[in-house]
Structure 1
Amino acid sequence: MTSSALPRLTRHALPALDAHVLSTSWCEPRIGIVHLGIGNFHRAHQALYTEEAMLAAGGEWGICGVTLQGDVSKRDALMAQQGLYSVVERGPAGEKVTLARALLEVLAMPHDHDALFGRLADPQVRIVSLTVTEKGYCRDPKTGEVALDDPLVAHDLANPHTPRSVPGILAAALRGRRASDNPFTVLSCDNLAHNGAALRRVVCSFARQLDPSLADWIADVVAFPSTMVDRIVPATTESERESAARVLGYCDAAPVPCEPFRQWVIEDRFPAGRPAWDAVGAQLVDDVTPFELAKLRMLNGTHSTLAYLSMLAGFDTIDAAIGNPDMRRLIHAMMSDEIAPTLSVPRSFDILSYRDALLARYANPALKHRCAQIAMDGSQKIPPRLLGTIAARIDAGQPFARLALAVAAWMRFLRGHADDGTRFEVKDPLAARLQTLAAAAHDEPDALVAALLEVREVFPAELAAQPRFRSALRDALQVLGNGARSAIAAYAA
């Protein structure tokens, strides 16, 4: 029987599914968190931590999830299931299916504008969290402030009562809460350096365009704690739907695949309170920076390296890529010799054990994390994941050839085809401009480096002017011209 022939998963089915819930002692909470960007990552990570925290210590921390791209299909699928969905955890030991219950409501912007702002005005809502990716911040990479030329930002400044952007929504909601002097905490869970501080700057700069006194109040009163999040969560495929159906006996239209590993480090600044996340494995710290930087550079940096080299070389998934002996040696050496020395971590953090754990996670044969998914939005990801590490290596007078190979692979990826001619789509906010520049260079290394290093949204002027950086990129592109697989072998040595 196919999953579509089974009854639809809803909360009414829970009494028959005790074996697949975290605990049977569950009482439906009131909504205390609004989450912007209700994608797979949040549903496999923060939502599960939050349910476990309520089971451990109580609290009214039910979640209202919000899609921001006008995607009513996700809202409708989840609401047809009363917010219920399954998490399909896949690892070397097998598969585990868990039903997640903390998500109680899903809204879609701009269709549910009034409902969303009703929620955001409710004093019961004490945290607004986000997983919207780097591009969702509408942030000028040169200044760190809101990008005034962003179409969504321009719309919101002209129509402040019907905002569509993240900074516009947050500023409008906080304007409403200011009247009662009852702000919520804004919690970024995106892979962005100093994500809380970065979001605070964007929101304050947006608010200052409309009302300087509101910007001052936000800066003085509203907490924006930083976080570091980690769990590999691929896109949902039909395989997860069939797995959930087979185990549950119900059709789940919105299951989420993930690996067994998870980590959450949170700066402990929540004036209005928070769930007891620390009781269920999250680390509450004074400064998240060392953990954040280790994850951005070690995991995210090598993930992007794997993705761009794999798109050229023809590896579809991360486990297939890391299963190539040359690729594994390359990534091991990159982490050991080029990335780890740039990090200052607490003594309790064994960076080489972290490296080995990452390699084991990448090799998970059950996850099938697609390289094309990781390769999306490279213009947003390359700066925090790779360029900061390269700048640190240059400042220290140390080599960075493998890191340069990763950036060069992204440059070559912009052609839109693999070494064997297989075409793929370049999904990036700057795709049209970047691909035009790449095409005009005709695969000539000097021309490609000269053109792309002028893109200030990606490359800071100081780094772009570094002769060692330009030379390393040209060398890597020259080697990539003979094929990504031979380049991987050459740089793995």
Structure 2
Amino acid sequence: MALPLSQQTLAALGQDVGVPAYDRRRLRPGILHIGLGNFHRSHMATYLDRLFTQGEAHDWAVIGAGVMPADARTRRRLSSQDWLSTVVDLHPEGSSARVVGAMIDFVPVASAAIVKALVDPGVRIVSLTITEGGYFIDPATGRFDAAHPRILADAADPRRPGTLFGMLVKALAERRARGLGPFTVLSCDNLPGNGVVTRSVVVGLAEHIDGDLAAWIRREVSFPSAMVDCITPRTTACERELVSRRFGIEDAAPVVCESFRQWVVEDRFCAGRPPLERVGVEFVDEVSGHETMKLRLLNAGHASIAYVAALLGYQQVHAAMGDPDIHDWLDALQAREILPVLRPVEGLDYNAYRKRIVERLRNPEIGDTVSRLCANGSTRQPKFILPALRDALGRGLPMAGLALELALWCHYCRVADDTPGLPSLDDPLASRLRAGAREAARSPRAFLGIREVFHDLAEFHSLRMAFAAWLGIIEAGGPRAAIRRYIDWGDHRSSSRQASYAGSS
């Protein structure tokens, strides 16, 4: 019979479950984490748990916080089990479980309570996982949206902030007034330049409120950028049942994730930090090279296999990666067109990283779905595929495979809603994409000219030519024939000859 998870039941759990070996009563808070979902517990909390187990940094425990209704539900679930979480690592050969005890409290989901916790001098790092959509970025410019109604509301009444960033600004103002010094704000969201983005929002809002405060924040507060990575699916009844059946734990909010974790952080902390390098975190002067590697290889890899996998009838990512053609398509695309536009970075082995990506994608225990990879292409493609395409076009390098990836996406947009078994088109621009895809065979600009996605890429004649040729091949022979043609193709041709080859019979 499964035991309800709590501090009192830890000693009774099975020997195959790891439990905190440190005295949680002696932990003291040092980090306030806002947005305490699954990823935080599989990632930061797990690193901290490992560090605490070594007898280190017991004054850097986590207090949870949040501003969304889901955060209140998480707080209730974790409160009933003394803030403990079961984290299950899903290995290809099986699973392992550990109860993570790095979190010791969770403030009420209310603005005043969060600001009070932020002002506590013991809090030296405020970390965030609030999703990309939580940063008030204008999608048209990629910059802080100072005219967003919620930002304007906080600027008009900074004493009663309604946004997380309003709460941060208010807390920093109070700390400054009391002579308490600042805290570091550390974004853990999968967002390029996440520290730069976070700084722009906090400083931008502060400038609306108090110019002197904004200058102080700009000068004194640290906003390090970080690259984070650990595939962490959402928890459903299936995951709760797995934890109960396999490990004998009744956990209201367990986390399942892959065993791979990576965290690369710029070493800029204005109020100190725990020595996380002792448990595998990499601290660097500048993180952009690691970010680019992940975006161009892992995230672009997801995007590259998504639509061809869906069109070939696969529902699970690991099953799709077991198809030799899909595997070889990804390998060829990365080798011929992604790697050549990546600048060398000392200490980074791109080929080793590629090999590890394939191992991760083939892990059947993760249960990652093709439909998840297909969703929101209009936001994923501009971040993961189009930057490499722009680099290739600008440098006259091969780009026919990237054009094929766009053609596969276009074909999927055209047929998804009318083909049984295909994931439906789940995208904020679904109607635009569908209409453009239906006209693309006659006019490539109908799809490539969707400026919210492609901006000016439709003006490149070589791209239009290659894209149209691949659409013809997909229409005539299907997606497998298209990727097979690319795979079988030598990697010594120029981009112009690739485009003409794509159009040959």
TM-score higher than 0.5:
yes
Q: 1:191 to 1:410 in 2, by over 3 A?
A: farther
Q: How far apart in 2 are the matches of 1:489 and 1:202? A: 46
Match of 1:469 in 2: 463
Q: 1:412 to 1:198 in 2, by over 3 A?
A: farther
Encode CA deviations 1:336-376: one digit per residue, 9 max, x unaligned: 11111222243432211211111111111111112333444
- Return the offset for 1:202: 2.7
Query: Which letter maps to 1:437?
Result: R
Match of 1:458 in 2: 453
Encode CA deviations 1:263-318: one digit per residue, 9 max, x unaligned: 11111111201111101111111111211111111111111222343344432221
Q: How far apart in 2 are the matches of 1:155 and 1:342? A: 43
Q: 1:97 to 1:402 in 2, by over 3 A?
A: same
Match of 2:503 in 1: none
Match of 2:497 in 1: none
Q: 1:414 to 1:26 in 2, by over 3 A?
A: farther
Match of 1:348 in 2: 347
Matches within 5 A, 1:93-172: 93-106=93-106, 111-148=109-146, 150-172=148-170
Match of 2:91 in 1: 91
How many correspondences in the alignment? 482
- Return the offset for 1:42: 1.5
- Return the offset for 1:84: 1.1
Q: 1:293 to 1:155 in 2, by over 3 A?
A: same
Match of 1:79 in 2: 79
Match of 2:250 in 1: 251
SS in 1 for 2:250: coil
Q: Is the 8 A contact 2:436 2:446 kept in 1?
A: yes
After TM superposition, the runs of 4+ consecutive aligned structure 1 residues lying more than 6 A away are none
Q: How far apart in 2 are the matches of 1:466 and 1:64? A: 51
Match of 1:266 in 2: 265
Q: Is the 8 A contact 1:416 1:424 kept in 2?
A: no
Q: Is the 8 A contact 2:187 2:195 kept in 1?
A: yes
SS in 2 for 1:33: strand
Query: Which letter maps to 2:8?
Result: H
Q: How far apart in 2 are the matches of 1:437 and 1:180? A: 53
State percent identity of aligned pairs: 38
Q: Is the 8 A contact 2:85 2:99 kept in 1?
A: yes
Q: How far apart in 1 are the matches of 2:81 and 2:433? A: 46
Q: Is the 8 A contact 1:441 1:447 kept in 2?
A: no
Q: How far apart in 2 are the matches of 1:123 and 1:485? A: 59
SS in 1 for 2:9: helix
- Return the offset for 1:441: 3.2
- Return the offset for 1:195: 1.8
Q: Is the 8 A contact 1:415 1:435 kept in 2?
A: no
Match of 1:36 in 2: 34
Q: 1:333 to 1:250 in 2, by over 3 A?
A: same
The alignment's TM-score, normalised by the length of structure 2, stands at 0.86
Q: Is the 8 A contact 2:416 2:425 kept in 1?
A: no
Query: Which letter maps to 1:450?
Result: R
* Equivalent position to 1:445, from 428, 440, 447: 440
Query: Which letter maps to 2:22?
Result: S
Q: How far apart in 2 are the matches of 1:242 and 1:203? A: 41
Q: How far apart in 2 are the matches of 1:142 and 1:293? A: 21
Q: How far apart in 2 are the matches of 1:189 and 1:324? A: 33
- Return the offset for 1:164: 4.2
Q: CA RMSD in A?
A: 2.7
SS in 2 for 1:417: helix
Please, which runs of 5 or more residues in structure 2 have no aligned partner?
489-505
Q: 1:37 to 1:469 in 2, by over 3 A?
A: farther
Please, which runs of 5 or more residues in structure 1 have no aligned partner?
none
Query: Which letter maps to 1:468?
Result: S
- Bigger mean CA offset, 57-66 vs 90-99: 57-66
Match of 1:185 in 2: 184
Q: Is the 8 A contact 2:304 2:405 kept in 1?
A: yes
- Bigger mean CA offset, 91-100 vs 20-29: 20-29
- Return the offset for 1:464: 4.7
- Bigger mean CA offset, 373-382 vs 298-307: 373-382
Q: How far apart in 2 are the matches of 1:155 and 1:426? A: 35
- Return the offset for 1:426: 4.9
Query: Which letter maps to 1:87?
Result: V
Q: Is the 8 A contact 2:188 2:227 kept in 1?
A: yes
Q: Is the 8 A contact 2:414 2:437 kept in 1?
A: no
The alignment's TM-score, normalised by the length of structure 1, stands at 0.88
Match of 1:25 in 2: 22
SS in 2 for 1:319: helix
Query: Which letter maps to 2:114?
Result: L
Query: Which letter maps to 2:112?
Result: D
Q: How far apart in 2 are the matches of 1:335 and 1:78? A: 42
Q: How far apart in 1 are the matches of 2:345 and 2:227? A: 15
Q: 1:219 to 1:473 in 2, by over 3 A?
A: farther
Match of 2:338 in 1: 339
SS in 2 for 1:264: strand
Q: Is the 8 A contact 1:186 1:222 kept in 2?
A: yes
- Return the offset for 1:185: 0.5
Q: How far apart in 2 are the matches of 1:388 and 1:352? A: 20
* Equivalent position to 2:430, from 417, 435, 438: 435
Q: Is the 8 A contact 2:125 2:186 kept in 1?
A: yes
- Bigger mean CA offset, 465-474 vs 189-198: 465-474
Q: 1:469 to 1:178 in 2, by over 3 A?
A: farther
Q: How far apart in 1 are the matches of 2:385 and 2:310? A: 18
Encode CA deviations 1:189-211: one digit per residue, 9 max, x unaligned: 22222221122123222322333
Q: How far apart in 2 are the matches of 1:25 and 1:155? A: 45
SS in 1 for 2:178: coil
Q: 1:206 to 1:96 in 2, by over 3 A?
A: same
Q: 1:366 to 1:139 in 2, by over 3 A?
A: same
Q: How far apart in 2 are the matches of 1:164 and 1:95? A: 41
Q: How far apart in 1 are the matches of 2:148 and 2:402? A: 30
Q: How far apart in 1 are the matches of 2:472 and 2:162? A: 44
* Equivalent position to 1:12, from 5, 8, 13: 8
Which one has the largest radius of gyration? 2
Which structure would you say has the larger RCO, counting Cα contacts within 8 Å and 6 or more residues apart?
1
